[in-house]
Structure 1
Amino acid sequence: MVLSFLRTVQLARRTSSPLGRQLGSPSANKPVLTLFTKKPCPLCDEAKEVLEPHKKRFILQEVDITLPENSTWYDKYKYDIPVFHLNGKFLMKHRVDMQKFEDQLTKLELQNDGNQ
């Protein structure tokens, strides 16, 4: 799971995609919130709305689990979306738990501040 996340980050850095630019810029210290989703996903849309006020604090990466290259994620999460990972680690599924999200985001921000 972590290796897949690292490959995604490495690929993003090699491409000229918006994600690649974000990861290569000073915002690289921002935590990465990965949303595992598919179309349509009303719960995913609702979750993104809930997270909208906090979007300056993290980078949102969406992974469409229906794409062939994401079949592992499809097998794992097909009945559970939306699923969120924060910096490559499982965080929550089905609905946004704002308390859990805030706690983990703050923890990562404090770690990043301490490492600078």
Structure 2
Amino acid sequence: MFVLKTLCGPAALQLLRPFSTKTLPTLTLFTKSPCPLCDEAKEVLQPFKHRFVLQQVDISLPENKLWWDKYKWDIPVFHLNGQFAMKHRVDMVLLDKLLQDIEVKKA
């Protein structure tokens, strides 16, 4: 309990995530550097960050050539649990609905 009293807010949530009995969905961000739209998208995602694990895939790396060929003109692109969700900008209404659908299935 000392840890919880010492750490409040997001830091405490990050610490507790590995011990959670529920597995959070994975939101994959296909990005490259630099990507101002990706940076903006990550800021927009902040209110949702406790509801998913964010995984970033740099499509400019040689091992991600498949994703480069597919998304080089469309980043940021988001997949939720491996399924295409949206591209170019974060659609907060859509993301909330997709996350709710997953949360309801797990309940």
TM-score, normalisation: structure 2: 0.80
The alignment status of 1:35 with 2:10, answered yes or no, reads no
The alpha-carbon deviation at position 43 of structure 1 amounts to: 0.4
Given the alignment of the two structures, is residue 65 of structure 1 paired with residue 59 of structure 2, yes or no?
A: yes
Tell me the CA shift for residue 112 of structure 1: 1.2
**1:49-100 deviation per Cα after TM superposition (whole angstroms, max 9, x unaligned):** 0001110110000000011110000000000000000000000000001111
CA distance in 1, matches of 2:49, 2:94: 16
Unaligned runs of 5+ in 1: 1-22
SS state of the match for residue 29, structure 1? coil
Higher share in helix: 1
What are the Cα deviations for residues 24-71 of structure 1, in whole angstroms up to 9, with x where unaligned? Answer: 753661010000000000000000000011101100000000111100
Matched letter for residue 42 of structure 2 = K
Whichever of the two has the greater Rg, that structure is 2
Where structure 2 has 5 or more consecutive residues not aligned to the other structure, the ranges are 1-16
Q: Give the ranges of 4+ consecutive aligned residues of structure 1 lying more than 6 Å apart after TM superposition.
A: none
TM, length-normalised to structure 1? 0.74
- The two structures, once aligned, show a CA RMSD in angstroms of 1.8
Matched letter for residue 87 of structure 2: K
Partner residue of 2:94?
Answer: 100
State how far apart, in whole Å, the 2-side matches of 1:59 and 1:94 are: 20
Indicate how the Cα distance of structure 1 residues 105 and 75 shifts in structure 2: closer, same or farther if over 3 A, else same: same
